[in-house]
Structure 1
């Protein structure tokens, strides 16, 4: 007898999704603050009257500008070499000074090498304050304390550079392998011994690469400091434009542009070799630009492989091959260049001690800070400076986002597209903002518009690179998982890639805003609007109480933006 059993198919009960976690009050407040910043940026663009109509009205000025500039009036070769040598000497000595001061600060600022919470906090404060005070303000103070010469410019560039170099060194130290340091400590090595034998050797490639990158930045800034008396090609450019000698001024501007590109190409090639990004066989325009970018356009993401013996073991001491001989010769050449730069800068060490002893007395002329009868004007100018920074960041972001997205190799449709947009980013980064501001001032006239446009173009270079790097650092496994469900390319980008990179995007945008506000202060001295114009005038008429009041205003503004950026990054992480 057959038994038939009926099989019933039951519908599985769907598992309910867990409830979405409620956003914390801090997270809501952080997003609210970002919305307020976005609204302020949109208002700044409208209030500064940056629109297509104003650009069209300036086309006639562009034609007049071209007729007044050409033919270019280049200075005699001897004068050109002298002023270029002065500029390079100041920048070399300032960068070396910054590295020597930044390394101990970074060691105390890094959590794995600091001696205690007090020194850790003090080092972090030094880094923040050095970044917050623009080099222009340092230069004005040191010119009053030490008089004319190269020393004020060297100190201004060197002390301000501690903010960037010290932070990058501290971050690099915290990412080093702690195994060698633990091994040295286990053998009874002192703190100085394990730092000098394990931390410094591991840090050396990043140390040199960061110093070369800062050298490029200091070269551009030294030209701008020529407006407050720092010698070299920047001072000659300021004198030419101040007397409306546009043919000579734009000739010097072209020389500055070529000098910046040449120095950046040289330092980029050295950085690429140090970081293991050398790829043979690149030629033509693409190879030229790739060398400027330290191999960033076509470089693999991995680092350099350690040297090994024939048996396959990792070599702990490099052999004396051609590569080591070149490095040794490079060290000797670097020492010689620094020595020559120090001599050429003509530093008067005999009067330095006397000037240092007079510092407490001279500092009294800056105290107490007072706006005199210019409080309303100064507050309005400070607001314009903030508006320039906000508007430039917004305009730069609009252009940098698509360029940076297409420059990311894990997002771009092809490697050719990624390399093309990486090349565009490098070319834009090679344009000094000072030169752009001068051109826009002559075309559109004095005011905040030329400064905003110059900073917006500069923002495309930095923001575009940061966006591309952030997208490439996302976890590709998340993207592969979304793609495996049948999602399209745009769905993968918005659901997996962009969501991972969003916290980094926000951090980069706020960092760019911080940079633009400080840069707007600098560009104000050439007539690009904002508080910089009044800062320069107050120093010229020796109203140092007004100078110190403006310094306090700038410092408070920059620190407020810095605090907002730090709080937002921590909240939205």
Structure 2
């Protein structure tokens, strides 16, 4: 037997699940290519839109901003709703996370029930919740706060539960050994460890809710989103794009501010806050002062938001009396005689999500690579591309959809391009983070052999980050399926058109059917992603 043959036989044979996972990933990639081709996403489509782009620019400029007083009112209302909704999600997610975490839940039934509630909150689109709550509580802030707050529990509750399960059990065990009760154990042994993660997640959700508020404005929630929707309905692009620019500025500022707060909280050296011998309280170090100032400012912002959102306890109680009747309108599910049309639109939604994910990944990969500090040619280049990612993330996808509808016309092309551009913001950030989190020892080992910068990148950096990148793409596909459903509200194709139309003509049973179809589709994608992560792990 030759040496070459012997060496080949010592190589591990590909496992069955591993081969199956590779086939599934390639199939999704091929489906994305086919979907983009079938939808007509090509260079010719973009070239044909150049004339429309020039016409749109003439109709958009100069931007028409409202008066300073009106602009401040709209910004204040939007921020008040978003802060109040984020606070509601945190208040609901903390007990849900304690019950959902395997190390803190009292029994298995409570854990399963809490996990199911968190999944359900994420599965029901916030726009559907807004439609329900607007019917219950009327137009205004209350519906937006409840819709965003309850939907946010799906993300915030899951991440909170994950943080609780990852704590160091040592402090908790020590508190329990001292005779502390369950509430004392949670407050002293669990909360201090998870507080930075809790704050970071809440700030991240605030960023998301700020962009979501634009979408909810199209179904009647007050604030900048409602003003943008009104302007676009009247074809007043100067006012609509001016307000969209204001939202972009708010989103970028929120991203930068929350990022600074997250870094300050997560990097604060807790060891310096230990009391000196003979003291019963820790010293007032600069780090402790900074954290307390953040806490005070946050409390003042929350109080101002609750006042600015004009939430009425009496109105809430009065609305609850109508909740049962309203929910009864949505059951049982009905097809309205258009089930074939719904299934066709659902298939279009799948194609939009696949094509947008593929295009977004292709665009996000080079941007994310150049934004990663350990890969970028220079710190300045990395900072520029990080800034570009923040800028793209700040543009609400619904605004992108409206723009592309004007440029390319009603239909699937507009929705695909809007989601593709929006995906660059999230995927670009995730790609950059994944590249920065690789094991530097592997890179150094390859570099020590005399490899060039690109050889190190290709043979050491990319192989380590590739599994995470596949996971991020699947997550983006899940996000795009949900987003493609909602972009149909503004004529960007897919099943969202039927969702909006059914709600307008009060066919709430059809709304429920659409919701169930989208839920089943999203769960299928989630199961595929979970299986792939298990195989990769």
Shorter chain as denominator, the TM-score bin is: over 0.9
Match of 1:34 among 8, 16, 25: 25
Q: 2:262 aligns with which of 265, 271, 274?
A: 271
Which of 56, 60, 69 lines up with 2:60 in the alignment? 69
Residue pair 2:214, 2:396 contacting (<8 A) in 1 also:
no
TM-score by length of 1: 0.87
Describe the shift of the 1:465–1:101 C-alpha distance in structure 2 as closer, same or farther (beyond 3 A).
Answer: same
- The CA distance in 1 between the partners of 2:150 and 2:99, in whole Å, is 17
Please show how residues 29-108 of structure 1 align to structure 2 within 5 Å: 29-108=20-99
Aligned residues: 534
Match for residue 521 of structure 1?
485
Matches within 5 A, 1:27-426: 27-276=18-267, 304-308=268-272, 318-426=282-390
Higher mean C-alpha displacement, 189-198 vs 224-233: 189-198
Q: How far did residue 80 of structure 1 move? A: 2.0
Asked if the contact 1:538–1:544 (Cα under 8 Å) also holds between the matched residues in 2, the reply is: yes
Deviation per residue, 1:48-107 (Å, 9 max, x gap): 111110111111111111221223222222222222222111111100000011111122
1 CA distance for matches of 2:281 and 2:379?
A: 38
- Give the 3 Å change call, closer, same or farther, for CA 190–436 of structure 1 in structure 2: same
- Mapping for residues 13-32 of structure 1, pairs under 5 Å: 16=7, 19-32=10-23
Distance 2:93 2:284 in 1: 31
CA distance in 2, matches of 1:416, 1:336: 37
- Find the counterpart in structure 2 of residue 569 from structure 1: 533
Corresponding residue to 1:429 among 382, 393, 397: 393
Equivalents in 2 of 1:356, 1:89: separation in Å? 22
Q: Following the alignment from structure 1 to structure 2, what is the Cα–Cα distance between the partners of residues 13 and 211?
A: 57
TM-score scaled by structure 2?
0.93
Matched, 1:559 2:517: no
Pair 317,202 (structure 1): closer, same or farther in 2 beyond 3 Å: farther
Question: What RMSD over aligned residues (CA atoms) do the two structures have, in Å?
Answer: 2.5
Tell me how far 1:35 sits from its aligned partner. Answer: 1.9
Cα pair 1:506 1:569 within 8 Å, conserved: no
Once the 2 structures are TM-superposed, how far is the Cα of residue 46 of structure 1 from its aligned partner?
Answer: 0.6
Q: Go from structure 1 to structure 2 and tell me whether the alpha carbon gap of 1:345 and 1:494 turns closer, same or farther (over 3 Å shift).
A: same
Q: CA distance change for structure 1 residues 327 and 174 in 2, over 3 Å: closer, same or farther? A: same
Larger Rg: 1
State the secondary structure of the residue aligned to 1:308: helix
Q: Whole-Å Cα distance in 2 between the matches of residues 385 and 98 of structure 1? A: 29
More displaced 10-residue stretch of structure 1: 128-137 or 14-23: 14-23
Q: Summarize the Cα distance change of 1:378–1:270 in structure 2 as closer, same or farther, 3 Å threshold.
A: same
1:151-181 superposed Cα distances (whole Å, 9 cap, x missing partner): 2211110111112111222222233222211
C-alpha distance in 1, partners of 2:100/2:258?
27
**1:457 pairs with 2:421:** yes
Question: Unpaired segments of 5 or more residues in structure 1?
Answer: 1-11, 277-303
Q: C-alpha offsets along residues 201-237 of structure 1, whole Å, 9 cap, x if unaligned?
A: 2222222222112111111101110110101111111
CA contact (8 A) 2:369 2:431 kept: yes
- Name which of structure 1's ranges 260-269 and 562-571 shifts more when overlaid on structure 2: 260-269
Structure 1: distance between partners of 2:441 and 2:260 = 33
Residue in structure 1 matched with residue 499 of structure 2 by the alignment: 535
Which deviates further from its counterpart, 547-556 or 25-34? 25-34
DSSP-derived class of the 2:10 partner: coil
Q: Which moved more, 1:474-483 or 1:154-163?
A: 474-483
1:386-429 C-alpha deviation (Å, 9 max, x unpaired): 11111111001112122222333333444444334333323322
- Hey, what's the Cα distance between the residues in 2 that align with 1:344 and 1:73? 25
Q: Decide whether the 8 Å contact of 1:425 with 1:464 is kept in 2.
A: yes
Give the distance between the partners of 1:123 and 1:259, measured in 2 at CA.
34
- Confirm or deny: 8 A CA contact 1:405 1:411 kept in the other structure: yes
